[in-house]
């Protein structure tokens, strides 16, 4: 009897420090690979602009260290602790976006999407806060709605909840890609929580019909959609404006095509030498294709698939609905963002600024992604505690 109790105590002690190392390894691999590629893609421009080849790498390293510290902290806090802050997260998400229009706002490459944090020297992108805030808020609302989400009224209410934040991000920061991601995360979470898929089929058909109508109008010469119309025309014909609208897309396609199966070798890219603007940001996947070839591109995609598969396993085994919804939200964020980035780089969809998760240069993005991973690890940790 005593031996049985001792064994039980040992099991509890061992499970108390459980960590999902498979998920952690994948994330660390993507981060390490990302920093290598950031240095490779940015060293030439960094030296030309700042006389320091590692300028962008150093800034990204600071963000990664802060993000990893936050991830470990969040992973060791029971995820239900954050449930009480769900409404606050929604309010803060809405409050931060308009701050880009104040003196705290920071402009870069014609876009005003960041706010400066005084005393720290870091720029924060409110859209990244909104993604995390929306995941937390909707996970809480799904639990509160319960079976009410199955009704048409409940469904419309849940779909309408993210709209104020989505409209703020799009209208104030002109950030269409982040607005699409926030809406995509929301729809996916409601989709998983609702057993009636007919509504989503109808919604998808309506969205596709509207998108087709927009493309048709733009192709017919309509000027209703301003510069986004130019991007759609550039998508339909990448050689229509090679010096301006389609320049970045064409250079990315040249990089992808020239890489072949095995690539030119790490650090041997030609397109990064001022041909692809900001190669370390949205177009870093094209540099991966050029230097590491089809092999490197497929390897990166497989790592994302493994990451999403691991999260799916955690979501399926979560101890409660709230934990499952948190993981589904993080899965949706990473999946949508990765798919959109690769689609843009390969000209599968019209060009819109969007980073590749964990790999592209961007402090706000990587920090908040790591916080989200911390939430997933927290959910996974509770699963193990229950099983033991």
Q: Please state the rounded mean pLDDT for residues 79-92.
A: 93
Beta strand ranges found along 250-303 (DSSP E): none
Length of the chain: 388
**More confident position, 367 or 385:** 367
What domain range includes position 318?
Answer: 21-76+227-388
Q: Are residues 119 and 256 in the same domain?
A: no
Q: Are residues 71 and 93 in the same domain?
A: no
Query: Quick one: pLDDT at residue 364?
Result: 87
Domain assignment present for residue 207? The answer is no
| Confidence band, pLDDT 50/70/90 cuts, at residue 13 | very low
Query: Quick one: pLDDT at residue 353?
Result: 80
What does the buried/exposed string (b/e) look like for 91-102 if buried means 16 or more CB atoms within 10 Å of the residue's CB?
Answer: eebbebbebbee
Query: Quick one: pLDDT at residue 11?
Result: 47
Q: Are residues 104 and 70 in the same domain?
A: no
Query: How many CB atoms lie under 10 A from the CB of residue 32?
Result: 12
Per-residue pLDDT reduced to its tens digit, 252-271: 999 999 989 999 999 899 98
Query: Quick one: pLDDT at residue 150?
Result: 82
The answer to whether the beta carbons of residues 256 and 290 sit under 8 Å apart is yes
The residue assigned the tokens 């999403």 is 308
Query: Quick one: pLDDT at residue 123?
Result: 81
Per-residue pLDDT reduced to its tens digit, 224-247: 666 677 788 888 888 877 787 788
Domain assignment present for residue 132? The answer is yes
Q: Are residues 47 and 90 in the same domain?
A: no
The rounded mean pLDDT for the chain is 87
Maximal CA-CA distance, the chain: 83
Cα separations in angstroms, 282 against 8, 267, 287 = 51, 18, 10
Domain assignment present for residue 209? The answer is no
**Final residue before a domain boundary, out of 150, 170, 193:** 193
Task: Count the domains in the chain.
Answer: 2
**More confident position, 114 or 127:** 127
Q: Are residues 115 and 157 in the same domain?
A: yes
| Confidence band, pLDDT 50/70/90 cuts, at residue 1 | very low
Query: Quick one: pLDDT at residue 295?
Result: 95
**Final residue before a domain boundary, out of 177, 193, 209:** 193
Q: Are residues 86 and 68 in the same domain?
A: no
Query: Quick one: pLDDT at residue 152?
Result: 84
Q: Are residues 152 and 70 in the same domain?
A: no
Using a pLDDT cut of 70, give the percent of the chain over it: 91
| Confidence band, pLDDT 50/70/90 cuts, at residue 14 | very low
**Final residue before a domain boundary, out of 170, 193, 216:** 193
**More confident position, 45 or 17:** 45
Domain assignment present for residue 156? The answer is yes
Tokens of 114: 């960041």
Per-residue pLDDT reduced to its tens digit, 165-185: 999 999 888 888 899 999 999
Q: Are residues 88 and 55 in the same domain?
A: no
Domain assignment present for residue 6? The answer is no
Domain assignment present for residue 263? The answer is yes
Q: Are residues 380 and 236 in the same domain?
A: yes
Query: Quick one: pLDDT at residue 110?
Result: 67
Query: Quick one: pLDDT at residue 302?
Result: 97
Q: Are residues 47 and 89 in the same domain?
A: no
The burial of 233, by beta-carbon neighbours within 10 Å (0-12 exposed, 13-18 middle, 19 or more buried), is given as: buried
Query: Quick one: pLDDT at residue 18?
Result: 53
Q: Are residues 265 and 362 in the same domain?
A: yes
Domain assignment present for residue 185? The answer is yes
Expressed in angstroms, the distance from the first to the final Cα of the chain is 18
Q: Are residues 328 and 256 in the same domain?
A: yes
| Confidence band, pLDDT 50/70/90 cuts, at residue 386 | very low
Per-residue pLDDT reduced to its tens digit, 21-33: 899 999 999 999 9
């Amino acid at each position: 009897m005593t031996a049985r109790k001792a064994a039980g105590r040992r099991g509890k002690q061992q499970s108390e420090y459980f960590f999902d190392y498979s998920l952690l390894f994948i994330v660390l691999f993507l981060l390490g690979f990302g920093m290598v590629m950031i240095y490779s893609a940015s060293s030439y421009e960094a030296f030309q602009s700042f006389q320091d080849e590692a300028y962008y790498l150093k800034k990204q390293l600071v963000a990664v260290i802060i993000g990893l510290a936050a991830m470990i902290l969040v992973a060791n806090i029971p995820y239900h602790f954050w449930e009480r802050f769900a409404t606050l997260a929604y309010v803060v998400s809405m409050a931060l976006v308009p701050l880009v229009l104040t003196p705290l706002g920071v402009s870069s490459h014609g876009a005003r999407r960041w706010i400066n944090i005084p005393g720290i020297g870091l720029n924060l992108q409110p859209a990244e806060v909104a993604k995390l805030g929306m995941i937390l808020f909707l996970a809480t609302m799904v639990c509160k709605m319960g079976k009410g989400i199955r009704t048409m009224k409940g469904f419309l209410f849940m779909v309408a909840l993210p709209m104020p934040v989505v409209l703020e991000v799009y209208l104030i920061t002109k950030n269409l890609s982040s607005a699409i991601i926030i809406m995509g995360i929301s729809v996916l979470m409601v989709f998983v929580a609702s057993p009636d898929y007919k509504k989503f089929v109808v919604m998808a058909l309506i969205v596709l019909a509207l998108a087709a109508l927009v493309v048709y109008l733009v192709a017919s010469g309509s000027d209703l959609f301003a510069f986004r119309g130019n991007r759609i025309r550039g998508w339909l014909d990448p050689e229509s404006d090679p010096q301006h609208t389609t320049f970045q897309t064409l250079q990315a396609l040249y990089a992808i095509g020239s890489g072949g199966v095995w690539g030119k070798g790490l650090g041997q890219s030609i397109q990064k030498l001022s041909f692809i603007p900001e190669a370390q940001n949205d177009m870093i996947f094209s540099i991966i294709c050029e230097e590491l070839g089809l092999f490197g591109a497929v390897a990166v995609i497989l790592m994302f698939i493994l990451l999403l598969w691991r999260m799916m396993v955690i979501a399926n085994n979560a101890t409660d609905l709230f934990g499952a919804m948190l993981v589904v939200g993080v899965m949706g964020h990473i999946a949508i963002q990765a798919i959109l980035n690769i689609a843009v780089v390969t000209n599968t969809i019209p060009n819109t600024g969007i980073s590749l998760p964990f790999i592209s240069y961007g402090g706000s993005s990587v920090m908040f992604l790591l916080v989200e991973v911390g939430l997933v690890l927290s959910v996974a940790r509770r699963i193990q505690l229950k099983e033991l």
